[in-house]
Chains A and B, each alone.
Chain A
Amino acid sequence: MTLLVHAPHAHVPMTVSQVMATVMLALAPATLYGFWLYGWPSIFLWTVAMGTALLAEAAAVWLQGRAAKPVLLDGSAALTAWLLAVSLPPFAPWWIAAIGSVFAVIIAKQVFGGLGQNVFNPAMAARVMLLISFPVEMTMWAAPMPITTSQAPGLLQGLAITFGSAHWDAMTSASLLGHVKTEFSRGVDLTASLPAHFAAVHGGLADAAWGKRSGSMGETGGLLLLAGGVFLIVRKVISWHAPVAMLLGVAAPALLAHAINPAHYLGVLPHLLSGGLMLAAFFIVTDPVTTPNTPAGMFVFGLLCGLLTWIIRSWGGYPEGVAFAVMFLNALTPIIDRYIKPRIYGRDRKGQSLQLDAKEGAK
């Protein structure tokens, strides 16, 4: 008995697992750089996030009475955990990563119906949950101490930081956006706080651009994330629309506001290379599941996401607004998809059949 199959009888050599694997490949350079910058604790944190996510996915799928192996092999849980791990403070305790991964995979994804059904980006949903629930752990940033240098925590010390309760207060340092926000609340404006920040923890703006500063792994590897994103665009795994629009959405108001009041508004470069912007622009707002499905829709999504990020950063209570902006826009995705649709061949935008113009009709 021949199984009846409909055309086409040819297929592009690409699978969902390969898409996920390509994204992870693009994420690898920034992550490895982060490992080098923050040493063993960051490696342990990443491992815990990955392991917990895979276990949680397997458990959820097992509860549904489905085979776990093909679901784990699609790579979506691993990618979610990876994205979450690089958005966490690298010295955060293990349970932050574990709770985050379980929340991302089970609450934010499987409860909605699994891969392709979730409304919110799982990694961002988990990050927002963690930030609201554990604000202290989520805002303790370690100063970068490359793994090759003497002050970097060793293997045992790293284990103690991630899994024990080792104090590492001496190594803390504020992230740029956090520092600026704190100084504002003390009445110190940018003309004073910014040079102080760079002088205190960094070798200046150049070092900051190369990521040798405190922040999450996804923040400090900004330029490497940009490179990874370009790689994904070239490989046609993602399109340029959402990333470019998001960067534009932050850069344009930053440029304008900074020109008007440089003491109060950060300039374009600190905005672009700080916080989760690069990670979000190339790896979060390009998540196909939770973003619009037309190029124009993607552009609108990215632009609004960028604008909202800049608004939260500039006027909000939190120093960073990427995760909030992404979740807000995720909720708007169905509406964007409803209003932005491609024009159907032979029809106008309203779906009516094209009218012949008088000349042609008369022939």
Chain B
Amino acid sequence: MNPFSGLFSSFRARGGVHPDGRKDLSAEPPIRALPMPERLFVPLQQHVGAAARLSVVVGDRVLKGQLIGASGGNISAPVHAPSSGRVTAIGDFPSPHPSGLPAATITIEPDGDERWIEPDVPDDPFSLSPEEIANRVGAAGIVGLGGATFPSAVKLNLSRKSGISTLIINGGECEPYLTCDDRLMRERAAGIVEGIRLIAHAAGASELLVGIEDNKPEAIAAMRQAAAGTDVQIRVVPAMYPMGWDKQMIQVLTGKEVPAEGRSAEIGVLVHNVATAWAVREAIRFGRPLVSRVVTVSGAAVVAPGNLDVPIGALAADLIRACGGLASDPRRIVLGGPMMGTQLPHLNVPMVKGASGLLALTGKEIGLPSPAPCIRCSSCVRACPVGLLPLEMVAHIRAADLSAAVGLGLKDCIGCGSCSYVCPAHIPLVHFFNYAKGELTALEKAKLRTDATRKLADTRNERMQRIVREREEAARQRAAKKAAAAKQKEPA
């Protein structure tokens, strides 16, 4: 680590851990294009929010970049054909999720021609209005490529409305093993810088900061060179996990703290990932929707780790094959980084927009620990970047006292895994927290349902009472009418 790293950033990060980076495994070879697989499996749900709505039928011929799933709501993102070819199936296919449960997926057989759609390219991207840029980013299906997969256009519009001043581009890449952002910055710095300026134009930001961890000197140099003469500033931050947590990056670069119940836009900051900046530039400058991304393929079980430019929908097995196959039987396949990535059930699942890494890890790498009793060493307390007491939260969750865990800040937990990583007793702390969060959601849903039922029942009772009242009233009126009629009759 660079001993002078503290000099570059004025604000200190809280907590954090220093896991073995293992980035040397994949950092040196340049990005290679994955040979086009025989079939691509494109899920309709690759982002936070509503799934995309199917807009092709089986047998359709599609061009590369053609819309095959339209945005499904306010918070959603469209999906495009990653290559030209024919839609051969639409239906369930194993999803890149630990369960491997099937999800709605479009299968495309590429024809090998790579024919793009007719692009809509402006003469000068910077002459486009901010709204137009946001619209185009949305239409290109761009989502947060750092792993959050939140639709980028939604963030752009929100930022413009709340009025932000600072755009932070997250080049932290603090997850061990992952080098896709590192390679991207080394090889495509100029494009990224243009993407950053486009995002800033769309969001109305005047201060443009790029935070890069000090363990990526080549990326820093390349980005500095590309940013020279522009208003994009490259800032070096110390390498530690989770530096790439957006709020950590904001704190280290600006000294500002985002309120727990607020958004970063409220303090005038917008954060995007470097890969997202690249995708924005591709979409605006060349009219190319997000149909591929750089994925790090690494782990000791992989013969030749490296970074691949992968069409969305390629199978994990295709990537492994392109990296020389497996040297040994991996103990665990992970999508993403080792700290927050998800375990994959097998290699027969597609790569999605949020897939930053594909790791085949050996038993030696993951440690295969079995949990021991907590000795209250409070390593987890020191490691937590949020300032929580993981050991106490787990004790309450074990005792099924969820409200006490919430009182200690369960809902503020970002699930970064720092606590589980340092625990000498190997207690799966994050697993407990995610379980508890799931239970809370279930409880809240159940409460909503009970409330709705009660409301319906109350309304029904009210209605029944009203009907009874109205009937009685009508009966009274009828009786009164009768009486009046009888009275009228009487004198006759």
Which chain A residues have a beta carbon within 8 Å of chain B's beta carbons? 2, 4-16, 18-19, 70, 74, 76, 114-117, 239, 288-289, 291, 293-295, 337, 341-347, 351, 353-356, 360-361, 363
Kindly report which residue of chain B lies nearest to residue A4, judged by CB atoms: B98
Given the known interface contacts A4-B343, A9-B338, the answer about A115 and B373 at a Cβ–Cβ threshold of 8 Å is yes
Give bound CA distance, A9 to B385, whole Å: 19
What chain A residues lie within 8 Å of B366 (beta carbons)?
Answer: 9-11
CA distance A167 to B328 in the complex (A): 68
Q: Are A7 and B262 in contact (CB under 8 A)?
A: no
Q: List 23 A-B contacts (CB under 8 A).
A: A5-B431, A6-B343, A7-B343, A8-B338, A8-B417, A8-B421, A9-B341, A9-B359, A9-B361, A9-B366, A10-B176, A10-B338, A10-B367, A12-B423, A15-B372, A15-B424, A15-B426, A116-B375, A343-B387, A344-B388, A346-B257, A347-B409, A361-B266
- Distance (whole angstroms) from the CB of B279 to the closest CB of chain A: 25
Chain A residues within an 8 Å CB radius of B34:
none
- In residues 222-275 of chain B, which contact A (Cβ within 8 Å)? 247, 257-262, 266-268
Least CB distance from A10 to B in Å reads: 4
Given the complex, which residues of B lie within 8 Å of A5, measured CB to CB? Answer: 332, 343, 428, 431
- B14 near A: Cβ within 8 Å? yes
Which chain A residues lie closer than 8 Å to B392 at the CB level?
A: 293, 337
Q: Which residues of A contact B341 (CB under 8 A)?
A: 7, 9
B80 in the interface (beta carbon within 8 A): no
Known contacts A2-B345, A294-B381, A346 near B260 by CB under 8 Å: yes
Neighbour of A356 across the interface among B260, B266, B389, CB < 8 A? B266
Q: How far, in angstroms, from A13 to B426 measured CA to CA in the complex?
A: 10
Q: How far is the CA of A174 from the CA of B97 in the complex (A)?
A: 70
B247 & A346 in contact (Cβ 8 Å cutoff): yes
Query: CA of A220 to CA of B230 in the docked complex: distance in angstroms?
Result: 68
Asked whether any CB of chain A lies closer than 8 Å to the CB of B430, the reply is yes
In the complex, what distance in Å separates the CA atom of A343 from the CA atom of B251?
15
Q: Which 10 A-B pairs have the closest CB atoms?
A: A346-B260, A8-B417, A293-B378, A6-B431, A353-B261, A342-B387, A11-B367, A354-B259, A10-B338, A288-B377
Are A347 and B260 touching (Cβ within 8 A)? yes
User: What residues on B are CB-neighbors of A239 within 8 Å?
Assistant: 382
With both beta carbons as reference points, the residue of chain A lying nearest to B366 in the complex is identified as A9
In the complex, the answer to whether A294 meets B378 with C-beta atoms within 8 Å is yes
Tell me, yes or no, whether B17 is within 8 Å of chain A by CB. yes
Assess whether B422 is interfacial by the CB under 8 Å rule. yes
A345→B242 CA distance, assembly (Å): 14
- Please indicate which of the listed interface residues A2, A9, A15, A239 has the most CB atoms of chain B within 10 Å of its own CB: A9
Is B262 a contact partner of A11 (Cβ separation < 8 A)?
A: no
A117 surroundings in chain B (CB, below 8 A): 373
- CB pair A12–B422 under 8 Å, yes or no, is yes
Residues from chain B with a CB closer than 8 A to the CB of A289 are 375-376
Asked if A346 and B434 make an inter-chain contact with CB atoms under 8 angstroms apart, the answer reads no
A61 to chain B, nearest CB (A): 12
**A-side contacts of B376, CB under 8 Å:** 116, 288-289, 291, 293
Chain B residues contacting A344 (CB-CB under 8 Å) are 260, 386-388, 409, 412
In the complex, residue of chain A having the shortest beta-carbon distance to the beta carbon of B384: A342
A342 engages B334 (CB within 8 Å): no
Complex: A344 Cα to B17 Cα, angstroms: 18
The 8 Å CB contact of B247, one of A115, A345, A347, A355, is: A345
Contacting residue for A19 out of B361, B377, B431, CB 8 A: B377
A8 is contacted by which of B247, B258, B266, B420 (Cβ under 8 Å)? B420
CB B323 to nearest CB in A, in angstroms, measures: 18
Binary A-proximity of B320-353 (CB < 8 A = 1, otherwise 0) = 0000000000001010101111110110000000
Instruction: Flag whether B67 is at the interface (Cβ < 8 A).
Output: no
A14 surroundings in chain B (CB, below 8 A): 422, 424
Alpha-carbon distance A115/B296, docked complex (angstroms): 42
Query: Is B20's CB within 8 Å of the partner chain A?
Result: yes
Expressed in whole angstroms, the Cα–Cα distance for A347 and B367 within the complex equals: 35
Considering the complex, give the chain A residue whose CB is closest to the CB of B267: A360
Q: Check B268 against A363 for contact (C-beta < 8 Å).
A: yes
CB distance from B341 to the nearest CB of A (A): 6
A289 CB, nearest partner CB in chain B, Å: 5
Q: B19 on the interface (CB 8 Å rule)?
A: yes
Interface hub of A10, A117, A288, A360 (most chain B Cβ within 10 A): A10
Shortest C-beta distance, B420 to chain A (Å), equals: 5
| Extra 9 A-B pairs, beta carbons < 8 Å, given A12-B421, A293-B381 | A11-B421, A14-B422, A117-B373, A294-B378, A294-B381, A337-B392, A344-B387, A360-B267, A360-B268
- Would you give the shortest CB distance from B449 to chain A, in whole angstroms? 28
Given A13-B367, A288-B378, residue A7 in contact with residue B260 (CB < 8 A):
no
Specify which chain A residues have a CB less than 8 angstroms from the CB of B381 in the assembled complex.
293-294, 342
Answer whether A342 and B389 are a contact pair too, CB < 8 Å, given A7-B342, A10-B338. yes
Q: Does B340 lie within 8 Å of A345, measured CB to CB?
A: no
* B303 close to chain A: CB less than 8 A: no
Query: CA A140 – CA B35 in complex, angstroms?
Result: 83
Closest B residue to A117 by beta carbon equals B373
| A7 pairs with B257, CB closer than 8 A | no
A188 to B377 Cα, complex, angstroms: 46
Nearest B-chain residue to A352, judged by Cβ: B260
CB distance from A80 to the nearest CB of B (A): 12
Q: Chain A residue with minimal CB distance to B334?
A: A9
Asked if B48 CB lies within 8 Å of chain A CBs, one says no
Shortest CB-to-CB span from A244 to chain B, Å, is 17
Which residue of A4, A6, A10, A74 contacts B372 across the interface (Cβ within 8 Å)?
A: A74
Q: How far is the CB of B308 from chain A (nearest CB, A)?
A: 20
> Is A10 a contact of B339 with CB atoms below 8 Å?
yes
